[in-house]
């Protein structure tokens, strides 16, 4: 049975799927870790290995410290000493191979290559040896296997370039020969030698270093060429590829002058490890085929190295495809337009003007690369607004710590992660109903991503609100202040703790997720609040005190053009409503003249509300007990019922009037009680009147902002004809004051124009008796209305609020 060919080097834990596994989206997205650095110890790689074990596709040789990367600095002097012994031993064993390599180089006239080219060649064969070693380790191949023997020959090629090819090259420039990466070529070759030393030393430790008699054997079908053969290009191919707009996609032409050559540093083209500006996640050897326009057969084929990398300032990984001689350099971001072909396992990249590059990969590399692509797409999707969403908050947290109920399913680091990007998106949808079009809030989405300067980008997303309590805790003191948010039910609860550089950022985040307006938005009203209740019908006498919302430690209520915010010492409630355009029906309840209940709400305003699902409530977990939190959740759920009544209670009457003015746009000119309210109904065709009389009526006179429109609202308690009515008073109305024989003082509205409300069956449910202060019904009735008071001063106060003068009459 042939060993499974895994010719790539995933620098770290293998995240690609095996060919016999199905590439499901869930599995592709579960592993956020793509790699590890060779400088890490086995202990530091344990989190990566745990992730591999969790998803069942860890490489069997993951525990072995494969020298997949060559550190830019030597780890220790001991390692160098042992490594030099290994290189000397390898050099002695490969004497015959060195002769073959030199003959091949002289025959192909490659001896006089510049030092930069030899650097690329040495890096190429070191990566080849590393790829073969990963196959040997994964499949546990014996020393006699061809792949294991080729690994030794690739090591020998690398060592020959370092020890002999440079001395043979006439174009070598010593310490003043500077590469584009800013270091001398001698330093770069030192890095290659250091990587070679580590690779050979690892093979020796794992008993994979072949004996001398085995390595000197010459394989008839082994290619002993040092330089990979590449085709030449016609000018049209060169022009098309050099014009590619897919990043720095460059194709070098040997026939052009050196001034036209754009050569990237070898450390970028053939990366061995991470750099100061780049993370390198994987390297793999591929075949790149170029297709011209509609030709079915490829025009050119290139053996290349494909590296998966990411700049430390960007979220998107990219793939760099490079040939050994820097002839072909193709840089493609992974979020660009790439066509994935499952059969055969290949990538198709549109380069320019009908020229397409097809990259042929092994099945392992294909699924691994596809996994990176899917994870990148998934990451970008979570950090961008979805349909109907809007970004309302973004900041960089000083540190973020996340905990999930099951640590094995956690995508975010368990330890505090510094410099994380925090974003909050608000979901708003447009609803069309018989009442018109309105925007409805559908909760928030919190997205957090780790610092771009970290190797493995992790993220976490959670939905908040939309019928669920937002539970938070303000933690820390001084400069170490943070905000902790909790998600999920008991037993399945997750939490995230965010620390910011300033307390203002923390408060801005809390204000954003609880739906509070910006600090610069001016409130229409800002008054203290005593209690608020949500009920199916009219609230009972003690319901205001039994309301779970009172557990928020209510302090004040603020009215904004687009919301009503109830703030407390233990939480906040946001009621989204456009107070300037939404029709609100209200009622002022009666205050009984005799009551033994000293807790009875004295100043209460009832507001009738339709079904509402966009309430947001934030609760401080440390201040509100868990049973009370459940009661608050039920109260939040109650608000989503088709019809509810909100009862707002205030300590003082002027506070109620300010709140009412903000909701209706009308100012209260008078608010009091009348002893009686009677309507003289004239019968048809005969001058006979029938009195409709109600006792103990609450009256309120309101006027518009400009004072031109004055309305009278009456709220009845035991009037069998109606529960409430409202109509307009005009300066031309005839008003008369009188004193009744019973000693009451009153005002009569002569031939008043009003709409007589209909007595509905919903009166007991509290739905009738609510009036709209903005829109009035057509005044179809023309009858006299007499309003009586027990005290003359109260009558005069009422008369003084009317828009017309009141004429004095005799007693009747």
pLDDT of amino acid 65: 29
| Distance in Å from the first CA to the final CA of the chain | 118
CB 102 within 8 A of CB 164: yes
CATH for 384-513 (3.10.20.740, 2.30.29.30, 1.10.10.10, 2.60.40.3880): 2.30.29.30
Render pLDDT for 325-374 as a digit per residue (tens, 0 to 9).
Answer: 887 888 888 877 788 998 889 998 887 767 788 999 988 889 988 888 88
Range in 175-189, 644-658, 699-713 the model is least confident about: 175-189
CB 523 within 8 A of CB 646: no
More confident residue, 212 or 244: 212
pLDDT of amino acid 684: 61
Q: What is the mean pLDDT of the chain?
A: 78
pLDDT of amino acid 480: 78
pLDDT of amino acid 481: 86
Residue 449: pLDDT above 90?
yes
CB 547 within 8 A of CB 563: no
More confident residue, 686 or 665: 665
Render pLDDT for 124-163 as a digit per residue (tens, 0 to 9).
Answer: 999 999 999 988 888 888 887 888 888 888 999 999 999 8
Intrachain domains 384-513 and 666-808 with the same fold? yes
pLDDT of amino acid 335: 76
CA atoms within 13 A on the CB side of 138: 22
Render pLDDT for 73-95 as a digit per residue (tens, 0 to 9).
Answer: 434 444 444 556 888 888 887 88
Residue 204: pLDDT above 50?
yes
CA atoms within 13 A on the CB side of 647: 27
DSSP state of 551: G
Render pLDDT for 460-515 as a digit per residue (tens, 0 to 9).
Answer: 999 999 889 999 999 987 777 899 999 988 668 899 999 998 889 999 999 999 99
Torsion angle (degrees, nearest 10) of CA 274, 276, 278, 283: -20
Render pLDDT for 735-756 as a digit per residue (tens, 0 to 9).
Answer: 999 988 888 899 999 989 998 7
- Assign 240 a pLDDT band (cuts: 50, 70, 90): low
- Assign 529 a pLDDT band (cuts: 50, 70, 90): very high
Residue ranges per structural domain of the chain: 384-513, 525-660, 666-808
pLDDT of amino acid 76: 40
pTM for this model (two decimals)? 0.77
CATH of domain 666-808: 2.30.29
Tell me if residue 81 falls in helix, strand or coil: helix
Mean pLDDT of 796-804: 93
Tell me if residue 208 falls in helix, strand or coil: coil
Mean pLDDT of 205-212: 76
Cα–Cα distance measured from residue 565 to residue 517, given in angstroms and rounded to the nearest whole number: 9
pLDDT of amino acid 146: 83
Render pLDDT for 565-590 as a digit per residue (tens, 0 to 9).
Answer: 999 999 999 998 888 888 889 999 88
Maximum Cα–Cα distance for the chain, whole Å? Answer: 136
Ramachandran area for residue 269 (φ above 0: left; ψ -120 to 50: alpha; else beta): alpha
Closest C-alpha to 428, from 231, 229, 642, 613:
613
Counting residues of the chain whose pLDDT is more than 90, the rounded percentage is 33
Question: Between the ranges 43-47, 627-631, 659-663, 715-719, where is the mean pLDDT highest?
Answer: 659-663
Cα–Cα distance measured from residue 598 to residue 747, given in angstroms and rounded to the nearest whole number: 33
pLDDT of amino acid 401: 93
Render pLDDT for 172-196 as a digit per residue (tens, 0 to 9).
Answer: 444 444 444 445 778 888 899 999 9
CB 506 within 8 A of CB 411: no
Tell me if residue 760 falls in helix, strand or coil: coil
Counting residues of the chain whose pLDDT is more than 70, the rounded percentage is 75
DSSP string, 668-701: EEEEEEEEEEEEEEEPSSS--EEEEEEEEEEEEE
For residue 427, the Cα-to-chain-centroid distance in whole angstroms is 12
pLDDT of amino acid 220: 65
pLDDT of amino acid 42: 28
Q: Please identify which residue in the block is written with the tokens 């029906």.
A: 585
Range in 254-263, 565-574, 728-737 the model is least confident about: 254-263
Residues in the chain: 812
Alpha-carbon distances of 770 from 537, 602, 609, rounded to whole Å = 12, 19, 11
Cα–Cα distance measured from residue 290 to residue 93, given in angstroms and rounded to the nearest whole number: 40
3-state SS track over 587-632? ECCCCCCCCCCCCCCCEEEEEEEECCCCCEEEEECCCCCHHHHHHH
Residue 51: pLDDT above 70?
no
| 778 burial level (CB within 10 Å; 0-12, 13-18, 19+) | exposed
CB 185 within 8 A of CB 118: no
Residue 61: pLDDT above 50?
no
Mean pLDDT of 42-64: 29
pLDDT of amino acid 558: 96
Number of H helices, E strands in the chain: 17, 34
Give ∠ CA 280-281-282 in degrees, rounded to 5: 105
- Assign 216 a pLDDT band (cuts: 50, 70, 90): low
pLDDT of amino acid 618: 94
């Amino acid at each position: 049975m042939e060993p499974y060919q895994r010719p790539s080097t995933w620098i770290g834990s293998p995240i690609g799927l095996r060919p016999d596994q199905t590439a499901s989206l869930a599995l592709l997205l579960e592993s956020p870790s793509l790699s590890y650095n060779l400088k890490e110890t086995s202990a530091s790689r344990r989190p990566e290995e745990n992730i591999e074990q969790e998803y069942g596709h860890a490489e069997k040789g993951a525990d072995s410290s494969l020298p997949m990367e060559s550190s830019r600095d030597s780890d220790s002097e001991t390692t160098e000493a042992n490594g030099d012994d290994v290189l000397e031993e390898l050099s002695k064993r490969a004497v015959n191979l060195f002769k073959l390599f030199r003959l091949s180089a002289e025959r192909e006239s490659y001896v006089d290559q510049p030092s930069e080219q030899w650097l690329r060649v040495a890096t190429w064969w070191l990566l080849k040896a590393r790829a073969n070693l990963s196959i040997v380790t994964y499949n546990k191949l014996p020393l006699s296997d061809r792949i294991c023997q080729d690994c030794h020959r690739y090591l020998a090629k690398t060592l020959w370039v370092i020890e002999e090819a440079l001395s043979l090259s006439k174009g070598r420039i010593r310490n003043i020969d500077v590469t584009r990466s800013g270091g001398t070529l001698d330093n770069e070759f030192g890095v290659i030698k250091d990587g070679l030393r580590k690779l050979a030393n690892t093979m020796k430790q794992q008993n994979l270093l072949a004996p001398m008699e085995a390595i000197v054997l010459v394989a008839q079908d082994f290619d002993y060429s040092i330089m990979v053969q590449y085709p030449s290009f016609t000018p049209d191919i060169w022009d098309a590829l050099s014009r590619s707009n897919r990043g720095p996609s460059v194709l070098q032409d040997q026939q052009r002058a050196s001034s036209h050559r754009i050569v990237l540093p070898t450390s970028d083209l053939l990366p061995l490890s991470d750099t100061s500006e780049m993370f390198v996640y994987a390297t793999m050897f591929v075949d790149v085929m170029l297709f011209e326009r509609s030709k079915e057969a490829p025009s050119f084929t290139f053996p290349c190295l494909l590296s998966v990398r990411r700049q430390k300032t960007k979220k998107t990984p990219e793939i760099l495809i490079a040939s050994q001689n820097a002839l072909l350099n193709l840089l493609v971001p992974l979020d660009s337009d790439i066509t994935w072909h499952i059969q055969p396992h290949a990538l198709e990249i549109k380069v320019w003007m009908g020229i397409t590059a097809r990259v042929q990969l092994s099945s392992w590399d294909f699924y691994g690369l596809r996994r990176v692509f899917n994870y990148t797409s998934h990451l970008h999707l979570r950090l961008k607004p979805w349909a109907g969403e809007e970004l309302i908050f973004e900041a960089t947290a000083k540190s973020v710590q996340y905990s999930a109920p099951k640590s094995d399913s956690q995508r975010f680091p368990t330890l505090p992660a510094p410099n994380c990007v925090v974003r909050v998106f608000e979901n708003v949808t447009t609803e069309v109903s018989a009442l018109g079009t309105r925007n409805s809030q559908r909760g928030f989405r919190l997205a957090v991503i780790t610092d771009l300067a970290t190797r493995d980008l992790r993220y976490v997303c959670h939905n908040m609100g939309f019928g669920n309590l937002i539970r938070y805790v303000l933690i820390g003191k001084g400069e170490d202040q943070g905000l902790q948010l909790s998600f999920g039910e008991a037993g399945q609860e997750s939490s995230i703790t965010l620390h910011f550089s300033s307390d203002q950022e923390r408060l801005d985040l809390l204000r954003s997720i609880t739906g509070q307006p910006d600090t610069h938005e001016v409130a229409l009203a800002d008054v203290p609040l005593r209690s608020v209740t949500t009920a199916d019908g009219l609230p009972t006498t003690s319901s205001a005190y039994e309301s779970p919302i009172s557990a928020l430690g209510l302090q004040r209520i603020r009215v904004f053009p687009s919301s009503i915010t109830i703030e407390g010492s233990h939480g906040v409630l946001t009621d989204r409503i456009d107070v300037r355009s939404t029709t609100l029906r209200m009622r002022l309840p009666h205050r009984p003249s005799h009551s033994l209940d000293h807790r009875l709400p004295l100043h209460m305003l009832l507001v009738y509300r339709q079904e509402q699902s966009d309430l947001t409530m934030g609760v401080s977990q440390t201040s509100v007990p868990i049973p009370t939190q459940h009661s608050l959740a039920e109260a939040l759920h109650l608000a989503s019922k088709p019809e509810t009544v909100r009862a707002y209670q205030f300590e003082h009457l002027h506070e109620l009037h300010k709140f009412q003015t903000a909701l209706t746009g009308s100012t209260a000119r008078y608010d009091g009680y009348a002893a009686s309210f009677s309507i003289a109904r004239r019968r048809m065709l005969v001058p006979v009147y029938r009195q409709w009389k109600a006792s103990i009526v609450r009256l309120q006179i309101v006027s518009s902002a400009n004072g031109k429109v004055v309305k009278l609202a009456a709220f009845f308690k035991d009037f069998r004809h109606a529960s409430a009515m409202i109509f307009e008073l005009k300066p031309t109305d005839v008003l008369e004051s009188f004193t009744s024989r019973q000693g009451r003082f009153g005002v009569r509205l002569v031939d008043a124009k009003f709409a007589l409300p209909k007595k509905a069956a919903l009166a007991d449910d509290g739905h009738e008796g609510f009036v709209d202060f903005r829109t009035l019904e057509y005044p179809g009735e023309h009858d006299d209305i007499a309003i009586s008071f027990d005290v003359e001063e109260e009558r005069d106060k009422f008369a003084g609020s009317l828009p017309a003068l009141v004429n004095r009459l005799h007693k009747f």
